[in-house]
Structure 1
Amino acid sequence: MSDRSLQLILERAQEDEHQASLALNQARIDLDSYREQLAQIEQYRFDYCRQLSERGMEGLSASAYNHLQKFLNQLDETLLRQREAGRHFEQQVEICSGQWQDARKQRRSIEWLLEKKQHERQLRLEKQEQKLMDEFSTLQFARLMANRRSEQ
């Protein structure tokens, strides 16, 4: 495979890694946002329970108490659904993390291959240079010997 082809593949792998990194970052942002939202709902529920307790101390009609209790049950259901949704956000982070790691390994493998080819090319050039130097030395020696014989 030519170096240009490998370079194009490397550029594509770098772009894939970048896109996977962006997806991972977005998944983490979504998870953080989810956690903030969950904390807000939990805080709202806590505050609502405190208010319900305070109002209960002042006296509530059965109808008002049932209405407030029904709302509290709805908050509990919302929290339950939110916690179940949290698993989805955590899974997304895991999936995106795996995809990013795979893309990173792919990029590193291609970089390694390019470095290996470059090293092999450098070794070939060094061998060619050494061969030329050896041939040049041999020719010089042969000329020197020929000159000495002709001088005798």
Structure 2
Amino acid sequence: MENALEFLLEQAKERENQAALALGQARSELDGYYQQLEQIEKYRLDYCHQLVDRGQNGLNASQYAHLNRFLTTLDETLSKQKQAESHFKDQVANCEQNWFDSRKNRRSYEWLIEKKQNEKQRAQNQREQKQMDEFSTLQFNRHRFN
């Protein structure tokens, strides 16, 4: 029974470690997402400043249309990126829940093993106490009759 519990505990520890790694990876991907989003927003802002500067120097309709199309493409990219945010946040939340569950599972096995060890120790203590009592009774009876 103890070997089986130890085996289950080791497997639970491995699942918890894997869950922790997955959580770290999900958080890293979310951070990467935010960095990429920030870069696109910065690029868009820089591009808008360039558009204003060029506009002050004069743009023909074709140049303006080209620059405006590019800005529209950036806006669409930003919109798609922002829609992806929920995917990354959900992934982190799912990994956190998996990690919490696996940690709880590991702790349950540890508690059960500790409980079994305590019961075993208690039984050993009771056996020893019984032997001591029997020995004391024998010693007492020997002295009484001698």
Any stretches of 5+ residues in structure 2 without a counterpart? none
**What is the aligned partner in structure 2 of residue 51 from structure 1?**
50
Q: Pairwise CA RMSD of aligned residues? A: 0.5
Distance 2:63 2:17 in 1: 56
Q: Displaced runs of 4+ in structure 1, greater than 4 A?
A: none
CA distance in 2, matches of 1:57, 1:87: 40
Q: Which residue of 2 aligns with 1:127?
A: 126
Between the aligned partners of 2:101 and 2:81, the Cα distance in structure 1 is: 30
Other structure's SS at 2:31 match: helix
Matched residue, 1:27: 26
Residue 150 of structure 1 corresponds to which residue in structure 2? Answer: none
- In the alignment, the residues of structure 2 paired with residue 81 and residue 111 of structure 1 have an alpha-carbon distance, to the nearest angstrom, of 46
Correspondence 1:37 to 2:48:
no
TM-score (norm 2): 0.99
Q: Secondary structure at the match of 2:120?
A: helix
Residue identity matched to 2:101: D
Letter in 1 for 2:129: Q
Equivalent residue pairs, number: 146
- Output the TM-score relative to the length of structure 1: 0.95
> What is the aligned partner in structure 2 of residue 115 from structure 1?
114
Shift of the alpha carbon at 1:143? Answer: 1.1
Deviation at 1:142, TM superposition (A): 1.2
